[in-house]
């Protein structure tokens, strides 16, 4: 029997994962969250809804995504066998679409004609704009002004998809500020607007439903491992910003005690420098932001800290509440990879396997490589390749001194 | 209203009648509507805040809501966001805000002060520390925008032990079930958010507010105060006809912003607009 079976019974009725999670929102939003909770509760186990979701995942997203044995890279490293869960091959190029398909179906059931979202790297924004285009929903995306600058390609993609991208100039002009602004929009337009949150954070029921929609990746990886490896892998590795791709991969393995799990946060210039986005790996204190209690980077006075990462998608001071609990109970180990290691991993996978990873996913690759080197060739690691790297070409070229 | 909570043992063990309950009892007796200004502590710089608080009282404020600046004020519009930024640029922390209240108390022992803001600064210094220090400073109530009654838990008791009343929000979207829960947990007064949106947004519809308040009167004896969308004497008076108190924030903070470079002119500007509101509210009493 698993030591961790209690973890699959969460959250509780009020959205708590142990001391984390909850619904810390201003009163105007309580109604919308209750409504969302009720809609999801009524559809969660509805076979018609699940069938529609599965159909979209298969025919629109292109699931299942492959579990790819990176044989050449594994050989070069000389340790464990590395398997890549190819979420980069999903329609729109990342895991984010699993969740936006699910939430867009909920928006449709709720009868809301307008959707909004926050985005960091732009992957969630693109995935939201994509499903909005398909369902004919009006779509507005909040994006930190700094991220608009470093993710121009995705900004234009959203524009082509018919979404309006609203640059957010307040605060640090990154993901957390985009989320603040999306919440302000929602509180104003709550009658006709559905807020598609892009990660396993935010007020209840978001952490739960984003987890559930992303868990398809972990369910596939589990059965693919049994089929292709002949057993479960020894370890899973995924990057963690808010933590939705890691949650999606890890969740179906929670009760498999022999499968180690490692979440890799953004080490930025190095956790020791303080310029990073790694609340778990840096042992940040508990705090409350964006509707939930979690580990949160803030100063002594409780002001939210500025974060630093080469990858816009991980540039967030908090982390999903379920990850916070998993850290406490020791189910998952959380570490950080710094920008230099990440860029090296980005280049290495591109050269060795012909797969260009998103800079976010390259965090998992950087740490997965270190783990593999310490393991035996008959051991197996599954790394979540959560997104493709086309969107990051500008960032990497700039580091190389090339301007397009 | 909440007579059981009128007196508490505070941390030091001395008895202290709660100023909020006492103030609303006085207002009820005289048939007047409470005027409740909100200003952000530390805006435009920390050394001015206590003067501004006294200016508000001189202009007829009955309760003061003092904003604790926060880096990520999600429920606030641009006016109060910028006030937070100005205050944070001077490093205004929650503990500094408590010092301001203590300084205010040296000259004003009667006007209730409610701290308003977001939960994380309290989360960070710790609930116990916060409750004790707030009580020592002379704070009477606490309103965290992102702390609904479902999440306050044991801290409600902790705050009460320190004579700190928990003020909660009600919104036009609040269901009857939730309204009952909120009324049940509420102390001091209830803050009715007059419109969907952030602070400083559009003007409110006083008739619609009146209907909602009538519905709430069946659930609670607590004073019902209305905020969001009150910007001048006329809007204050319109709301004052149906509410026990009017809360004015962005209209004041906007005036502070306009005069941030000449802060010595701010107390007079605050007095002018609050004086106009006070007069308009008092007219509705005699009318």
CATH number at residue B181: 3.20.20.70
Q: What pLDDT score does B6 carry? A: 40
Q: Does A187 touch chain B (CB under 8 A)?
A: yes
Edge to edge, what strands does the sheet with B190-193 contain? B165-166, B141-144, B113-117, B64-67, B34-40, B245-248, B224-227, B190-193, B168-170
- Cβ distance A23 to B93 less than 8 Å, yes or no, reads no
Dihedral angle sign, alpha carbons of residues A51, A56, A62, A67: negative
Of B120, B182, B196, the CB nearest to A288: B120
Instruction: Quickly count helices (H) and strands (E) in chain B.
Output: 13, 11
Is a pLDDT exceeding 60 seen at residue A263?
A: yes
Dist. CA A160–CA A158, nearest whole Å = 5
Q: What pLDDT score does B1 carry? A: 40
- Cβ distance A27 to B125 less than 8 Å, yes or no, reads no
Q: Is residue B287 part of a domain?
A: no
In this prediction, residue A149 has a pLDDT band, given cuts at 50, 70 and 90, of: confident
Q: A28, A171, A203: best mutation site toward chain B, by most B Cβ within 10 Å?
A: A28
Query: Which residue in chain B has the smallest CA separation from A177?
Result: B72
Q: Is residue B286 part of a domain?
A: no
Chain A residues closer than 8 Å to B88 by CB: 303
Chain B residues closer than 8 Å to A292 by CB: none
Chain B closest-CA separation from residue A119 CA (Å): 16
In this prediction, residue A152 has a pLDDT band, given cuts at 50, 70 and 90, of: confident
Report CA A228 to chain centroid distance, whole Å. Answer: 26
Chain A closest-CA separation from residue B287 CA (Å): 34
- Cβ distance B121 to A189 less than 8 Å, yes or no, reads no
Chain A residues closer than 8 Å to B86 by CB: none
Chain B closest-CA separation from residue A363 CA (Å): 27
- Cβ distance A303 to B121 less than 8 Å, yes or no, reads yes
Dist. CA A189–CA A179, nearest whole Å = 15
Residues of B tagged active-site: 65, 76
Q: Is residue B80 part of a domain?
A: yes
Position of tokens 């007047």?
B32
Chain A closest-CA separation from residue B204 CA (Å): 13
**Reduced to 3 states, what is the DSSP secondary structure of residue B185?**
helix
Q: Is residue B170 part of a domain?
A: yes
Region B188-199 average pLDDT: 88
- The interaxial angle of helices A27-43 and A96-110, nearest 10 deg, is 100
Region A23-38 average pLDDT: 93
Dist. CA B145–CA B127, nearest whole Å = 16
Of B88, B123, B196, the CB nearest to A187: B196
pLDDT tens, A110-141? 999 999 999 988 999 999 999 999 999 999 99
Is a pLDDT exceeding 70 seen at residue B9?
A: no
- Cβ distance A290 to B122 less than 8 Å, yes or no, reads no
Q: Does A302 touch chain B (CB under 8 A)?
A: yes
Q: What pLDDT score does B4 carry? A: 39
In this prediction, residue B5 has a pLDDT band, given cuts at 50, 70 and 90, of: very low
Task: Determine contact, residues A302/A287, Cβ cutoff 8 Å.
Answer: yes
Dist. CA A74–CA A83, nearest whole Å = 9
Give φ, ψ of A94 to 5 degrees: -165, 170
Is a pLDDT exceeding 60 seen at residue B171?
A: yes
Residues in chain A: 404
Residues in chain B: 287
Is a pLDDT exceeding 60 seen at residue B3?
A: no
Q: What pLDDT score does A36 carry? A: 95
Of A32, A183, A189, the CB nearest to B74: A183
Region A198-207 average pLDDT: 97
Give φ, ψ of A114 to 5 degrees: -130, 135
Region A226-239 average pLDDT: 98
pLDDT tens, A278-296? 999 999 999 999 999 999 9
Q: What pLDDT score does A171 carry? A: 85
Chain A closest-CA separation from residue B171 CA (Å): 5
Is a pLDDT exceeding 90 seen at residue B198?
A: no
Q: Is residue B269 part of a domain?
A: yes
Q: What pLDDT score does A136 carry? A: 95
| Helix or strand run (H / E) with residue A72 | helix A71-77
Question: Which residues are within 8 A (CB) of A69 and not within 5 positions of it... i.e. 6 or more apart?
Answer: A81, A82, A83, A228
- Cβ distance A287 to B193 less than 8 Å, yes or no, reads no
Q: What pLDDT score does B205 carry? A: 84
In this prediction, residue B10 has a pLDDT band, given cuts at 50, 70 and 90, of: very low
Query: Which residue in chain B has the smallest CA separation from A170?
Result: B81
Q: What pLDDT score does A1 carry? A: 82
Chain A residues closer than 8 Å to B146 by CB: 24-26, 288, 291
Q: What pLDDT score does B199 carry? A: 77
In this prediction, residue B16 has a pLDDT band, given cuts at 50, 70 and 90, of: low
Of B76, B121, B147, the CB nearest to A24: B147
Dist. CA A374–CA A36, nearest whole Å = 45
DSSP result, A168-219: E-STTSSHHHHHHHHHHHHHHSTTTEEE---SS-SSTTHHHHHHHHHTHHHH
Chain B closest-CA separation from residue A325 CA (Å): 18
Q: What pLDDT score does B17 carry? A: 67
Q: What pLDDT score does A48 carry? A: 95
Q: Does A190 touch chain B (CB under 8 A)?
A: yes
Residues of A tagged active-site: 96, 118, 386
Q: Is residue B274 part of a domain?
A: yes
Position of tokens 């800079």?
A359
Q: What pLDDT score does B121 carry? A: 98
Q: Is residue B157 part of a domain?
A: yes
Q: What pLDDT score does A172 carry? A: 85
Q: Token digits for B178?
A: 């939730």
The average confidence (pLDDT) of chain A is 96
Q: Which is more confident, B237 or B197? A: B237
Instruction: Quickly count helices (H) and strands (E) in chain A.
Output: 15, 14
Query: Which residue in chain B has the smallest CA separation from A183?
Result: B74
A279 closest CA partner among A246, A237, A321: A321
CB pairs under 8 A between A and B: 119
- Cβ distance A30 to B178 less than 8 Å, yes or no, reads yes
**Percentage of chain A modeled with pLDDT above 70:** 100
Dist. CA B89–CA A303, nearest whole Å = 12
* pTM for this entry: 0.95
Give me the number of domains chain B comprises.
1
Domain that holds residue B182: 3-281
DSSP bridge partners of B166: B142
Q: Token digits for A257?
A: 């005690």
Q: Does A23 touch chain B (CB under 8 A)?
A: yes
Chain B closest-CA separation from residue A293 CA (Å): 9
Chain A residues closer than 8 Å to B166 by CB: none
Q: Is residue B153 part of a domain?
A: yes
Query: Which residue in chain A has the smallest CA separation from B82?
Result: A170
- Cβ distance A171 to B71 less than 8 Å, yes or no, reads yes
In this prediction, residue B250 has a pLDDT band, given cuts at 50, 70 and 90, of: very high
Dist. CA A241–CA A176, nearest whole Å = 11
């Amino acid at each position: 029997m698993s030591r961790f079976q209690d973890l699959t019974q969460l959250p509780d009725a009020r959205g708590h994962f142990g001391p984390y999670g909850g619904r810390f929102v201003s009163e105007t939003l309580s109604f919308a969250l209750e409504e969302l909770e009720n809609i999801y509760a009524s559809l969660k186990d509805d076979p018609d809804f699940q069938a529609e979701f599965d159909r979209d995942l298969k025919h629109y997203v292109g699931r299942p995504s492959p579990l790819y044995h990176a044989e050449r890279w594994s050989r070069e490293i000389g340790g464990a066998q590395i398997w890549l869960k190819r979420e980069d091959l999903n329609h729109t190029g990342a895991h984010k679409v699993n969740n936006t398909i699910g939430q867009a179906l909920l928006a449709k059931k709720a009868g809301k004609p307008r959707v909004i979202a926050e985005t960091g790297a732009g992957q969630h924004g693109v995935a939201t704009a994509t499903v909005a285009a398909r369902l004919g929903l009006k779509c507005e995306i909040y994006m930190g002004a700094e991220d608009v600058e470093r993710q121009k390609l995705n900004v234009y993609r959203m524009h082509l998809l018919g979404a309006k991208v609203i640059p957010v100039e307040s605060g640090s002009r990154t993901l957390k500020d985009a989320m603040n602004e999306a919440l302000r929009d929602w509180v104003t337009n709550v009658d006709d607007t559905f807020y598609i949150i892009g990660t396993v954070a935010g007020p209840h029921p978001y952490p739960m439903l984003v987890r559930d929609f992303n868990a398809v990746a972990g369910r596939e990886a589990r059965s693919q491992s049994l089929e292709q490896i002949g057993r479960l892998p020894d370890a899973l590795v995924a990057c963690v910003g808010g933590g939705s791709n890691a949650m999606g991969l890890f969740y179906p393995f929670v009760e498999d005690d022999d499968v180690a799990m490692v979440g890799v946060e953004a080490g930025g210039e190095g956790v020791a420098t303080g310029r990073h986005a790694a609340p778990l790996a840096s042992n940040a204190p508990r705090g409350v932001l964006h509707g939930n209690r979690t580990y949160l980077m803030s100063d002594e006075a409780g002001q939210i800290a500025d974060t630093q990462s080469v990858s816009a998608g991980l540039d967030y001071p908090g982390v999903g509440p379920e990850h916070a609990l998993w850290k406490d109970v020791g189910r998952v180990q959380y570490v950080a990879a710094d920008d230099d290691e990440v860029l090296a991993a980005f280049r290495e996978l591109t050269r060795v396997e012909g797969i260009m990873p998103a800079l976010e996913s390259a965090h998992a690759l950087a740490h997965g490589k270190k783990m593999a080197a310490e393991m035996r060739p008959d051991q197996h690691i599954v790394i979540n390749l959560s997104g493709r790297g086309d969107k990051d070409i500008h960032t990497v070229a700039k580091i190389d001194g090339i301007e397009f | 209203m909440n007579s059981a909570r009128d007196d508490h043992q505070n941390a030091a063990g001395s008895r202290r009648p709660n100023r909020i309950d006492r103030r609303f009892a006085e207002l009820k007796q005289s048939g007047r509507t409470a005027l409740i200004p909100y200003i952000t502590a530390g805006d435009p710089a920390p050394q001015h805040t206590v003067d501004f608080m006294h200016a508000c009282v001189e202009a007829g404020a009955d309760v003061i809501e003092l904003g604790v600046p926060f880096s990520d004020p999600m429920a606030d519009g641009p006016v109060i966001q910028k006030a937070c930024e100005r205050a944070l640029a001077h490093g205004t922390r929650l503990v500094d805000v408590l010092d301001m209240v203590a300084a205010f108390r040296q000259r004003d022992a009667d006007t209730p002060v409610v701290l308003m803001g977001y939960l994380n600064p309290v989360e960070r210094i710790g609930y116990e520390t916060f409750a004790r220090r707030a009580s020592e400073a002379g704070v009477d109530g606490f309103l965290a925008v992102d702390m609904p009654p479902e999440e306050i838990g044991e801290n409600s008791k902790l705050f009460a032990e320190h004579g700190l009343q928990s003020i909660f929000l009600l919104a036009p979207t609040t269901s009857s079930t939730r309204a009952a829960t909120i009324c049940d947990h509420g102390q001091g007064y209830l803050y009715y958010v007059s419109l969907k949106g952030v602070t400083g947004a559009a003007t409110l519809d006083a008739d619609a507010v009146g209907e909602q308040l009538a519905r709430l009167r069946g659930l609670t004896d607590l004073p019902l105060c209305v905020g969001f969308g009150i910007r001048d004497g006329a809007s204050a008076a319109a709301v004052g006809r149906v509410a026990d108190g009017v809360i004015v924030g962005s209209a004041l903070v906007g005036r502070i912003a306009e005069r941030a470079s000449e802060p010595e002119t701010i107390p007079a500007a605050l007095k002018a607009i609050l004086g106009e509101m006070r007069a308009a509210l008092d007219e509705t009493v005699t009318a």
